[in-house]
Structure 1
Amino acid sequence: MRWTTPRTRGVKLLLRSVVSLALLAALMHAVGWSNVGRTLTGADPAWAALGGALALLANTACAWRWRALVRWLRHEVPWPWAWVAYLRGVALNAVLPGATVGGDVWRAWALQRTGLDWPHASASVVLDRLSGLWGLALLGGGCAVAALLADAAALRGVQPGGTPGPWAAALGVAVVALAWLPRALLRGGVAPTGGRHRWWGWWATLAQHEPARHWRQQLLASVGAQAVTVAALWAAGQAVGLSLAWWWLAPAAVPIFVAAALPVGMGGWGTREAASAAVLALLDVPPAQAVGMSLLFGAYALLQAPLGLLPLPRQPGSA
């Protein structure tokens, strides 16, 4: 394995910071600094505070989901430890270049120190990210089906001519198939891998440890956590005067949140705002409101960052 030097890592972090700031500055220039400034200064404090509270609740739900994944891998960590460790990872992601990479690596390292081997510890973090993306896609797809059937006129610039029924039916089938896919992979994939390599041992553990029960648990936890996260984004939108129904914001949040997680910038800044402006333009949302909503939502992670300074609770029986 080739290790990078501290100087090389520093250069990469600097480049990512520059890319993030340059993208954000270019977007702000295109939209208009004064337009975004007026949008943010006129934000409703009550809606903004509600969004911050929902963002914290969403991260709490994500911490519970991660702990459930760790238990699926037959390792136990106390709930206070999982909550603080997850929030510390969120804090690192918010202040370090590289989007979600830094905090996730730290979570895997911290979990290894509790006694779980490195392949299982790192798998828990990767699976947690995949579970979140899975829940986001299911939520966005399900809401898109409902919105197409109830309010297809809102997609004036997106949906081709014709009735929305066939589109909604096709999307509904895709959502059901995606919901069932992890369980099907667990049932069919354990035989080929068989845990023969130590890095695939976690797969055999998942497949042999009550997969149906844990699959349902991850399904509910991931969709629920993403629903609260979208609610936080919606509250930020309400704060800046964005009148967009929650069930339309949920499908739009899929590319927005994916763009924020790309490891090309710092804390999702720039990529998240660019995705918000591009995607919400399809729903006739003014770019200043889209960018203002995204900036306010990004600020929630920064406001939570001090929680990462909380001391990590000791494991029972640790010295």
Structure 2
Amino acid sequence: MKKSLKSGLRLLVGLLLLAGIVYVADPLSLLQRLRHADKLWLCAGLLAGIASNLVSAWRWRELAQWFGARMPVPHALQWYFQAMGLNVLLPGAVVGGDVYRAVMLQRSAVANKGAGISVFLDRISGLWMLCAIGAAGAALNASVLAPVLHLPAEYFAAACVAIVVIWLAMPMALLHWLKKSSALSRLPPWAKPLQVAVAQEHSAKLLWVQALLSALVQVLSATALACGGAALGLNLPWSVWAFAIAPIFLMAALPVSVGGWGTREAACVAALAPFGVTAASAIGVGLLYGLFALAQGALGALVLGLPAKTQK
């Protein structure tokens, strides 16, 4: 199937899903909420979203340099925000944002074979911390979430805490195992930068830096989502947003829509319903977060320029 057709189908699926849940949630009620959204909270949400992606670009640069792909700060910011523009502004783009970053870094005069690995692990780092924070949020809201699953609240909370501890310990345990194992010596040539990175003297410290930056990224992203909720009059505890970001952002990343439109809003309805949030308000939160991303992609294109062609 041609890529343009696939992109068109993804856009259609996302729009149909979004239209369906908006219809069920009462379009007039949703429109009224959006029209009366607090502008100060909207500005705060946009700023938190920008800050989140600035830290994301910083994290990627640190990871790339750990893997030997040196990258100036201006290039990291430029390529990261241009990649965002590809994801949210150009649904028919030939390559996705992550592929664009890898290609631009690989083509730069200061890069090496660590370019592709840095982008892949940067994405994994974000998803890893997202799941950890989501599980922690679920533990804090066990009294609300456990009954939905017909489980005792104390067992549900204990299971979530255990998941968080094990999940956070896994990268350090994996790094320790790789240092002691001979598996790295049998890696294919494209993965050799991983062997070099693991062998570095301060690799454990660099891993902690990645963890802290990933945590900051997710905290700022949750703040942007919470600001969108506050703009619509939702005053929920921060622990609710800590839980909600995991299903919402994971659903938005599914390759069945463009820019997460439709899947993100459906996840908002499901994640926030146990806390008494109406469907119209939940959809509004998802739409506002999508608009934050859309605005960042547009601003990035205006300030940093449109993405360059990835092929000659």
Q: Does TM, scored on the shorter chain, surpass 0.5? A: yes
> Aligned pair in 2 of structure 1 residues 175, 224: CA closer, same or farther (>3 Å)?
same
Which residue of 1 is the match for residue 309 of structure 2?
Answer: none
Per-residue CA distance 1:72-97 (angstroms, 9 max, x = gap): 10222111211121111111111133
> Which residue does the alignment assign to 1:200?
191
1:308 equivalenced with 2:301 (yes/no) = yes
Could you give the per-residue CA deviations for residues 134-183 of structure 1, whole angstroms, max 9, x where no partner exists? 111122222333444xxx3x447426464x44432332222111111112
Using structure 2 for the length normalisation, give the TM-score: 0.89
Instruction: Tell whether the 8 Å contact from 2:8 to 2:92 is kept in structure 1 after alignment.
Output: no
Q: After the TM superposition, which of the residue ranges 137-146 and 273-282 deviates more from structure 2?
A: 137-146
Of 58, 74, 78 in structure 2, the residue corresponding to residue 84 of structure 1 is 78
**Residue identity in the other structure for 1:308:** A
When structure 1 is superposed on structure 2, of 193-202 and 225-234 the one drifting more is 193-202
Match of 1:280 in 2: 272
Aligned pair 1:170/2:170, yes or no? no
- Counterpart in the other structure of 1:253: 245
Q: Distance between the aligned counterparts of 1:21 and 1:144, measured in 2?
A: 30
Q: Deviations over 1:261-312 (max 9, x none)?
A: 1121111100100111112112221000000011011000111123134347
CA RMSD of aligned residues (A): 2.0
1:197-239 Cα deviation digits (max 9, x unpaired): 1132132123112221111001100011100100000000010
Structure 1 residue 98: Cα displacement? 7.9
Question: 1:261 touches 1:268 (CA, 8 Å); kept in 2?
Answer: yes
- Cα deviation code 1:94-130 (max 9, x no counterpart): 113389x711111011110124345x21211111111
Superposed CA deviations along residues 10-66 of structure 1, whole A, max 9, x for unmatched, are 111111111111111111111121121111111111111110010000000111111
Query: Can you give the 5+ residue segments of structure 1 that lack an aligned partner in the other structure?
Result: 313-319
CA gap of 1:195–1:83, structure 2 versus 1, over 3 A, is farther
Q: Distance in 2 between matches of 1:159 and 1:48?
A: 34
Query: Gaps spanning 5+ residues in structure 2: where?
Result: 306-312
Identity over aligned residues, as a percent? 37
Give distance in 2, aligned partners of 1:196 and 1:69. 20
Residue 260 of structure 2 is matched in structure 1 by: 268
- Alpha-carbon distance in 2 for matches of 1:310, 1:155: 43
Distance in 1 (CA, whole Å) between partners of 2:40 and 2:147 is: 32
Structure 1 partner of 2:67: 73
Is the Cα–Cα contact under 8 Å of residues 40 and 240 in structure 1 kept in the other structure?
A: yes
**Conservation of the 8 A alpha-carbon contact between 1:94 and 1:267:** yes
Q: Return the TM-score normalized by structure 1.
A: 0.87
